[in-house]
Amino acid sequence: MFVDRVKLHVKAGKGGDGIVAFRREKYVAYGGPSGGDGGNGGNVVFMVDEGRTTLLDLRYQKKVLAENGGNGKTKKMHGASGNDMIVKVPQGTIVKDAKTGRMIADLTRHGQKEIIARGGKGGRGNFHFKSSKNTAPQYSELGAPGEELDIQVELKVLADVGLVGFPSVGKSTLLSVVSKARPEIAEYHFTTIAPNLGMVQVPDGRSFVMADLPGLIEGASQGKGLGHQFLRHIERCRVILHVVDMGANDGRDPLEDYRIINEELANYEYRLMERPQIVLANKMDLEHAEENLKRFKEAYPDVEVFETTTIIAEGLEPVLYRAADLLETTPQFPLYNDEEVDAQAEGVLYKFEPEAPAFEVRNLGNGQWELVGEELERSFKMSKLNNEEDFMRFARKMRKMGIDEALRNAGCQDGDIVCICDIEFEFID
């Protein structure tokens, strides 16, 4: 079964907790704090495996979890770091954030590894909090939580030349003739459901990868039929081989077929019409093929057309030479939008992104307030609140972040309830 799109929930490992410990040895006076740090949580890593051709292994794996870090130990010893979770995917896989659509990783090279979710940092033991004022701290940090997000994993076939055209125009037959690929071919009218890849050897020694892509229909760029699933696999191709049935054996007009397919390519988001296109006039052995070819050349005089009959491998050698020549001069087309492509022409793309506020004060009414913010919530989750020293340290941290002043400016009164991560505190002015 060919699977080219799955949704996953990934969660990196939590950092291990730091511990409170003191050195107690017979002949060591005032041994002092010796609590060790927690280990870092494991990352969720995607790695390219050329032996895989589908995302079937991930279809039933709804969650991907990395190992948590170990807690710190006595004598200032670190806890063990969690093992990374390695997820093997086919070459050509793209990972996106399911909520924002932001591209996280584009896996195109053999053995390439990308961190999708980073593990949390281990908490510090009480040894780190020793000072001249507090020589025996009873405080340590909890480990930071690992990143957690929903992702969309897509496979976009990695091929140099992509075959496009209506169903049953001879694309699968062409691939089977010029390579050792064996796609399903039938005498009745049907379409390929999954893309097939084949290595094509040109007589002069050059070679390239050709993909037999599923047949398109009118409206495919708007998602009709399986349009987006089909067009997705053309995005990486550098050269498009447009196969047209000049025999018109099923009653379609070759000129109309050519116009419709090009419209679908033009309407798709990744500028497919900018790729060089080779037009292959197929099934020239049929009765009305010559007449239709004459009409086609009159309608499109500037289009170079190669006459072929793929079923008997006639006229294919010039097509292969032309494709190999175009591949030598055609660069890769990045999978980004227009602005990003222009900005990256000279190097790295830098964008101004305003820094997110450390916290936000929300008035819930009836004397209730809520504090939200990534930095605040992260700090709260790493803070132990087991004794008075823990609470005092966290209160000082909040005061340093400016939370006390922000609450007063917002109108928070003495005795109001302030909620942080579903934990309620009483505000004392």
Closest CA relative to residue 67, chosen from 125, 133, 120, 25: 120
CA 197 from centroid of its chain's CA atoms: 22
Ligand-binding annotation for 99, yes or no, is: no
For the stretch 335-343, contacts whose Cβ atoms lie closer than 8 Å and that sit 24 or more positions apart, written own/partner, are 335/94, 335/103, 335/106, 335/156, 335/235, 335/236, 335/270, 336/103, 337/269, 338/271
Kind of pairing between the strands at 360-365 and 368-372: antiparallel
Distance CA 272, CA 264 (A): 9
Ligand-binding annotation for 117, yes or no, is: no
Ligand-binding annotation for 171, yes or no, is: yes
Ligand-binding annotation for 45, yes or no, is: no
Ligand-binding annotation for 129, yes or no, is: no
Ligand-binding annotation for 100, yes or no, is: no
Ligand-binding annotation for 207, yes or no, is: no
Ligand-binding annotation for 191, yes or no, is: yes
Which amino acid belongs to residue 381?
K
Q: What angle do CA 330, 242, 55 make, to 5 degrees?
A: 75
């504090």: which residue's tokens? Answer: 371
Ligand-binding annotation for 68, yes or no, is: no
Ligand-binding annotation for 42, yes or no, is: no
Ligand-binding annotation for 166, yes or no, is: yes
Query: Would the CA dihedral through 208, 209, 211, 212 be positive or negative?
Result: positive
Ligand-binding annotation for 84, yes or no, is: no
Total length of the chain: 429
Burial 4-17 (b: 16+ CB within 10 A, else e): bbbebebbbbbbbb
Ligand-binding annotation for 215, yes or no, is: yes
Ligand-binding annotation for 320, yes or no, is: no
Ligand-binding annotation for 193, yes or no, is: yes
User: Is-contact 18 141, C-beta < 8 A?
Assistant: yes
Kind of pairing between the strands at 148-155 and 93-97: antiparallel
Ligand-binding annotation for 212, yes or no, is: yes
Ligand-binding annotation for 329, yes or no, is: no
| Burial degree of 325 (CB within 10 A; 0-12, 13-18, 19+) | middle
Ligand-binding annotation for 285, yes or no, is: yes
Phi-psi category of residue 82: left, alpha or beta, with phi > 0 → left and psi -120 to 50 → alpha: beta
User: How many CB atoms lie under 10 A from the CB of residue 63?
Assistant: 8
Ligand-binding annotation for 390, yes or no, is: no
Ligand-binding annotation for 103, yes or no, is: no
Ligand-binding annotation for 156, yes or no, is: no
Ligand-binding annotation for 253, yes or no, is: no
Annotated binding-site residues for Mg(2+) read 172, 192
Annotated binding-site residues read 165-172, 190-194, 212-215, 282-285, 309-311
Annotated binding-site residues for GTP read 165-172, 190-194, 212-215, 282-285, 309-311
